[in-house]
A and B are shown apart, each in its own frame.
Chain A
Amino acid sequence: MSVPDYMQCAEDHQTLLVVVQPVGIVSEENFFRIYKRISSVSQISVRDSQRVLYIRYRHHYPPENNEWGDFQTHRKVVGLITITDCFSAKDWPQTFEKFHVQKEIYGSTLYDSRLFVFGLQGEIAEQPRTDVAFYPNYEDCETVEKRIEDFIESLFIVLESKRLDRATDKSGDKIPLLCVPFEKKDFVGLDTDSRHYKKRCQGRMRKHVGDLCLQAGMLQDSLVHYHMSVELLRSVNDFLWLGAALEGLCSASVIYHYPGGTAGKAGAQRVPGSSLPAEAANRHRPGAQEVLIDPGALTTNGINPDTSAEIGRAKNCLSPEDIIDKYKEAISYYSKYKNAGVIELEACVKAVRVLAIQKRSMEASEFLQNAVYINLRQQESKRKSSEAKTTKKQGFWKLSEEEKIQRYSILSELYELIGFRRKAAFFKRVAAMQCVAPSISEPGWRACYKLLLETLPGYSLSLDPKDFNKGTHRGWAAVQMRLLHELVYASRRMGNPALSVRHLSFLLQTMLDFLSDQEKKDVTQSLENYTSKCPGTMELITLPDGLTLPPVPFTKLPIVRRVKLLNLPASLRPQKMKSLLGQNVSTKSPFIYSPIIAHNRGEERNKKIDFQWVQGDVCEVQLMVYNPMPFELRVENMGLLTSGVEFESLPAALSLPAESGLYPVTLVGVPQTTGTITVNGYHTTVFGVFSDCLLDNLPGIKTSGSTVEVIPALPRLQISTSLPRSAHSLQPSSGDEISTNVSVQLYNGETQQLVIKLENIGMEPLEKLEVTSKILTTKEKLYGDFLSWKLEDALAQFPLQPGKVATVIINIKVKLDFSCQETLLQDLSDDGISVSGFPLCSPFRQVVRPRVENKPVNPPEGSKPGDSSHVKTLEAILNFKYSGGPGHAEGYYRNLSLGLHVEVEPSVFFTRVSTLPATSTRQCHLLLDVFNSMEHELTVSARNNEELILHAGECQRMAIQVDKFNFENFPESPGEKGQFANPKQLEEERQEARGLEINSKLDIREAHPSLKRTGEASVEGLLNQLVLEHLQLAPLQWDVLVDGQPCDCEAAACQVGDPVRLEVRLTNRSPRSVGPFALTVVPFQDHQNGVHNYDLHNAVSFVGSSTFYLDAVQPLGQSACLGALLFLYTGDFFLLIRVHEDSTSKELPPSWFCLPSVHVRSLEAQA
């Protein structure tokens, strides 16, 4: 006997073996359909007795196992059912013949047999026959079960008769010696008459009867027989049969104790209501009852009349502990016989099943350990026998491999049964490896794979990568990795590359920490090889047996440490219109501020990020990634996974250097609709495997929220300027971000146009544009408008369609006061100044020192004596607020900032300013010392004046005749008085306004012929109170009329001897009345040599008084003093008019009384 039945269990000892086989050509499907129906009849209560018959069906049974039928009767094939197709009566005899041939195989042991014929109809089918049943087809055969029941009853009759026959054998009769196949030759020539031999025969027969009783459902009887047999056989040292008797005893006891069966599910099926607890086993079995009720049956059976005495003892079958002891004993006896290996193995298996029920795993494992032994030994013996039978070798080896697989799987199942899942997994894996052993010509990769999958729980390995997300992996990495490698290989050989890719990616993802550098390389290499044929996907793979393999996203290739949603660049950042925002707040709550609302907002913020993205604009998410691999990692098709908003992800490809540090990666995409977008994760393609990595599943990731609002589309402007871009970046104080910087270098006073082109590069029309400017705080005093622009031209084009350009021209005008800084100006104080223009002979010349005197002498820090120190910088920001499209409707705008960096170089200095009174009281001369600080020639021109050419470093004085200014009617800037309550500030303000006025009048222009640049020179900074006073038109206007002609600058002519009318007219423009005061007219002659001759009593005489008195002149009033002069000689005379004031009018400034000197030329009287 060479084929062990690993499925055997102790209860099988009470079954009758029936073989069901097809004859001729029967389709497998049909056969198993009938087989299933037949095997459903597995137990039958016989007649009206309470005995139950159990049937074991096999569709395949090796005939050589049948030879051991005498040893253990449940191995004996007692019934044969053949199933055959037969469609015509012609074939019938042939079919029937085949049935007989089939019967011959098991002929020696068969009790009865049946032939089921399908398809045959007609005459033959109508013959009533007991051994043949005819059915028209496989569907129409309701009576199959009934037939089987009848068949089994007939089996029972034979069995019962055999049992009774054996049991009632007269003790005097010669009892035949039952023996197993290999014993037969041993007993040749033995003395059959010896007592020893007889006892042996008796013992074996007892055991046989016990088997029959057990099969016939008489459990108690069988126990009795087994006990007796054990005693008999022990005395003659017939170990093989002693073992069998002990095993029989065990089996009977097991059946008694565990009516539910020991084979797991199969056993439970056998007794339908067998979820009975252990106590139920204590109830007497039907068979046992009968023994007790009908002791007469026992008296009739006696081989030995003493049996009746045994009844009491037999009632107490083996206790659970004894069962195991007896099994051990039996196995030890079996092990004495090499050829009984299968019996021993099966006994071990049975014992293990019993122990599993008893939950005695340790002992069970010992039995299994022994079973492992047997196999090895058995193989050795087989190998020897196979060497002998060389012809059979080929077939034998194949069988042996299959057997090995079967053996290892069953060992695994048994280990599983006793809860040794690791050992079970080990053997299952061995079995799997056996399936594809090199000695097998057709390796069963499919089976191997299936078995390998079954080992997964034993190695605590699940194929779901989610289970590995929690912290570091803790397990038997080396063993698990090996298993995964084997799965990969098996699935590949199976011809399922998708599976192997899945397993390989799982291996890489979960075991990354345990792979050595070389292994990492190897694994990725093979993964790339596989994916070149079958790329890895994110789909669930479902295996035919229902197991699903979840997708494996490569969250560790690369490892992502931080995810940060980026705000749009400052120039594209949408901003909410303030007014609308205010409305929103006010509708929400009547309070301006409530801590509760603020708190709620704070919570929201945790999830939602504070900025917005704009529909249609490229939005960025920054990931900090690193590559754990020892080689360069190429990540392709890396993009974002989002929800909530339609999002067009623009995938990126990156290449990370080996074992890189944290590496920033920016993923971009364009939201196509509006709403709230959530970034759920990212997708990658690494080594040809697509992965969708969700942030929720990533351990140890830092994220600052992943939800952002997407607002409707806004136009996008691109700015280009006529000026070059600047490397300078402004450091704005208010946190504005500047998109573009331009810089320009200007000479002080120069004006330059900045042409700004705004191109709408977005998809939405530009509907609104606002320009504001902000000058960054500077200490410099700036005169005039720095930046000015006109928007009308640009706005006329609105709405600006995409692709169109709007132009805005900005005027940059720089006027700075450089005077204070210049230390060199001090050196240019008095001497060596060439003066041009007016003669400097006036005694009224007043020199006004520049402001520098009021300042500390030391130069300020930044201005070292050197070239660059003179340069001053001005910085300003131009803000273009624009909006349009749907975003405008929602109240959003964008802000584009242009940084402007202006370097101002000094050009012309006015080192000194002074005034000279002109001949007219309404005019005066402004003297300016002009210094060219540049290295090239320049020209300066004031209005109505010729150009003054200044060479580099040259200083010249220029005089400009100006009309005096009437500041009184200069409008005060309205509304600002309240703000600048400080009188000092007010004064400054006023002075500035005056400066502006003077400057615009003067209109001094400079030109740089070599550079072809022009500018304006400003005197504003230089003007101080004193100069201003001189430039101011006095409120009291004196007009001297000689002979009715106003006499300002030209000499009035008169004739000698004629009285000349002299009128001094006073017009009061000041808001108050002035007076009283007196005027005295003093004539004098200027000898042009510095000598003034006042002694002119002889030459000039007054008609009337030379002194006039004025009482008061009302505001806006006029008064005149009239007199006359009589010149007695010809000559040039000057009249000096002096004012004698009263004390009351002291407060009036002297300049108010600045009367012009009158030049009169008396000529010869005409004839």
Chain B
Amino acid sequence: MAVCVAVIAKENYPLYIRSVPTENELKFHYMVHTSLDVVDEKISAMGKALVDQRELYLGLLYPTEDYKVTFPNQLCSYGYVTNSRVKFVMVVDSSNTALRDNEIRSMFRKLHNSYTDVMCNPFYNPGDRIQSRWAAALLGLPPSLCSSALLKGTVLR
């Protein structure tokens, strides 16, 4: 299950970042921030590929064992980049259940759809922080916290 979801703008600043254990939010900030190195590297590596053939899903970025001291669980961060270079980073707790790649992909796809919905909002100014709680669903938060646009994306177990 995802413990942290982040949307990062083209210029590599966070548009949205939310994590479930709120007491250690900063740790997740660091984690997502450092994951960007890998995302950058992966993007620059596939820059040559044709746009339509490009795989948006970047796969595993970091198995973050170095956080083991803080979190008893093993956390992995996965990355996804849209064609407009907006990055999604998801930190997944893989200690109990080993998630298959396909499951991660589908989570990202839902995230992408929700992000598209947000961008369709005429009152949203591209580049601003995303205020809505649309990504909360992926974190398994109660549906009451989720905006209607995201209710479609059900919690993955």
Contact = CB atoms under 8 A, between A and B. Distances in A.
A423 interface: yes
Interface string B25-64: 1100110011011100110010000000000000000110
Indicate the member of B9, B17, B38 with the most A CB atoms within 10 Å. Answer: B38
A475 B13 contact: yes
Interface in A326-372: 361-362, 365, 369, 372
Interface residues on B, range: 20 to 34
A182 interface: no
A423 B12 CA distance: 14
B153 interface: no
A373 B65 contact: yes
Nearest to B64: A369
A19 to B, nearest CB: 35
Contacts of B25: 478
A423 B38 CA distance: 9
B37 A423 contact: yes
Interface stretch (A248-256, A414-422, A726-734, A1045-1053): A414-422
B34 A422 contact: yes
B11 interface: yes
Nearest to A361: B41
A522 B66 CA distance: 32
A482 B33 CA distance: 13
A474 interface: yes
B14 interface: yes
Nearest to B66: A372
Chain B contact residues: helix, strand, loop or mixed: helix
A426 interface: yes
A476 B65 contact: no
Interface in B122-140: 127
Contacts of A421: 37
Contacts of A596: none
Contacts of B34: 420, 422-423, 426
Nearest to B25: A478
A362 B45 contact: yes
Contacts of A420: 34, 37-38, 41
A476 B13 contact: yes
B42 A422 contact: no
Given A361-B41, A362-B45, A372-B66, A474 B13 contact: yes
A25 interface: no
Contact of B29 (A361, A365, A479): A479
A476 B29 CA distance: 8
A474 B11 contact: yes
B66 A362 contact: no
Indicate the member of B12, B26, B37, B127 with the most A CB atoms within 10 Å. Answer: B37
Contacts of A460: 12
A361 B61 CA distance: 13
B151 to A, nearest CB: 28
Contact of B33 (A372, A474, A479): A479
Interface in A423-463: 423, 426, 459-460
Given A373-B65, A422-B34, A423-B34, A478 B26 contact: yes
Nearest to A479: B29
Interface in A406-420: 415, 419-420
Interface string B102-127: 00000000000000000000000001
A422 B65 contact: no
Given A362-B38, A420-B37, A474-B13, A372 B26 contact: no
Contacts of B45: 362
Indicate the member of A376, A419, A479 with the most B CB atoms within 10 Å. Answer: A479
Given A362-B45, A479-B26, A479-B30, A474 B127 contact: yes
A460 B66 CA distance: 23
A34 to B, nearest CB: 42
A474 B66 contact: no
A446 to B, nearest CB: 24
Given A474-B9, A474-B11, A419 B41 contact: yes
Contacts of A365: 37-38, 41
Interface of A: 361-362, 365, 369, 372-373, 376, 415, 419-423, 426, 459-460, 474-476, 478-479, 482
Closest 9 CB pairs of A and B: A420-B37, A474-B13, A423-B34, A478-B29, A422-B37, A422-B34, A426-B34, A479-B29, A423-B37
Interface of B: 9, 11-14, 17, 25-26, 29-30, 33-34, 36-38, 41-42, 45, 62-63, 65-66, 127
Given A419-B41, A474-B11, A476-B33, 6 more contacts: A362-B45, A373-B65, A420-B37, A420-B38, A422-B36, A474-B13
26 contacts: A362-B38, A362-B41, A365-B37, A365-B38, A365-B41, A415-B37, A419-B37, A419-B41, A420-B34, A420-B41, A421-B37, A422-B34, A422-B36, A423-B34, A426-B30, A426-B33, A426-B34, A474-B9, A474-B11, A474-B13, A475-B13, A476-B13, A476-B29, A478-B25, A478-B29, A482-B26
